[in-house]
Structure 1
Amino acid sequence: MPDDAPNCEFCRIAAGDTDDHRVYEDEETVAFLDANPAVKGHVIVIPKRHVTGVLTTGVGEAVFATVGTVAEALQADLGVDGFSTIHTTGPLIGTIDHAHVHLLPRWEGDDVSLALPRRTLDHDQAERLAERLRQITA
């Protein structure tokens, strides 16, 4: 277990020190059933290394490859209609600061609600933002 995260529940899971319901593991990631699932088959995917974000810490490719592998298994076993994935980073992450992605199997008519407020895209603001991002990513 990393020295910088001695009390991290997900580090204990990654180390194999808990009684989790693991569904997949490779050298970099672990996927396990959520102990408090929103739906049947709700899986959490974590990097084994303690980091607070998936997208900017070098673990994203491995984590999302595992999300894909587990999604295929859930599709084969549960016959789901689709999936929702949820990842939050930084101080918004909640009670566990170890990076993770929730993979939620979805069925037509399920009671999962992932509502996002929608706004109208301002063309001029969008073009300025797009240009800045193109310059950074070039």
Structure 2
Amino acid sequence: MAADPDCLFCKIVAGDIPATRVYEDERTIAFMDINPGTRGHLLVVPREHAVDLLSVAPEDLAACTRTAQIMAARVSDKLGADGVNLLNSCGAAAWQTVFHFHVHVIPRYVNDPLQLPWQPAPGDRDEIAAAAARLSE
């Protein structure tokens, strides 16, 4: 299994660094985030090292998505979360700080203090159309 000896999450996967694991299967591990945004915030990582969303193997991406869905159901059922955010940051400009692909499972509660930085507001329709045209090529 590919690992990066300098990667924090690879060390967690290998058991070299302790983590509070809450789920694992043959492709993924879910463990508690030590800097949680809300109660029950956890991370899902593939066992095999991949730097980010653009480099993760499709099979590992699918496995992480399945595990994130399982964990979203658990935080709703067992912690009483009112909702769940799944978050992936791809690249430093997108707030990625650990360069091993991972998905945040963030339980949300009515009136919890977590505020994400993006506030939806109407966009420029011409710019939206131009970006869509480029993406459709």
TM-score normalised by L of structure 1: 0.84
* RMSD (CA atoms): 2.0
The Cα shift of 1:71 comes to 0.7
> Counterparts of 2:119 and 2:55 in 1: how far apart (Å)?
25
> Counterparts of 2:69 and 2:78 in 1: how far apart (Å)?
14
Structure-to-structure mapping, 1:100-111, within 5 angstroms: 100-111=102-113
Residue type at the aligned position of 2:99: D
What is the number of equivalent residue pairs in this alignment? 134
> Counterparts of 2:132 and 2:97 in 1: how far apart (Å)?
33
Paired residue for 1:32?
A: 31
Paired residue for 2:76?
A: 75
> Counterparts of 2:113 and 2:16 in 1: how far apart (Å)?
34
Greater shift in the superposed pair: 37-46 or 89-98: 89-98
Paired residue for 1:12?
A: 11
Paired residue for 1:96?
A: 98
Greater shift in the superposed pair: 44-53 or 56-65: 56-65
Q: Where in structure 1 do 4 or more consecutive aligned residues deviate above 6 Å?
A: none
> Counterparts of 1:121 and 1:56 in 2: how far apart (Å)?
30
> Counterparts of 2:62 and 2:54 in 1: how far apart (Å)?
9
Give the unaligned 5+ runs of structure 1: none
> Counterparts of 2:125 and 2:39 in 1: how far apart (Å)?
41
Is the contact made by 1:2 and 1:11 (CA closer than 8 Å) also made in structure 2? no
The Cα shift of 1:104 comes to 1.0
Report sequence identity in percent: 37
TM-score normalised by L of structure 2: 0.84
Structure-to-structure mapping, 1:36-55, within 5 angstroms: 36-54=35-53
Residue type at the aligned position of 1:101: V
Greater shift in the superposed pair: 32-41 or 65-74: 32-41
Give the unaligned 5+ runs of structure 2: none
> Counterparts of 1:126 and 1:56 in 2: how far apart (Å)?
27
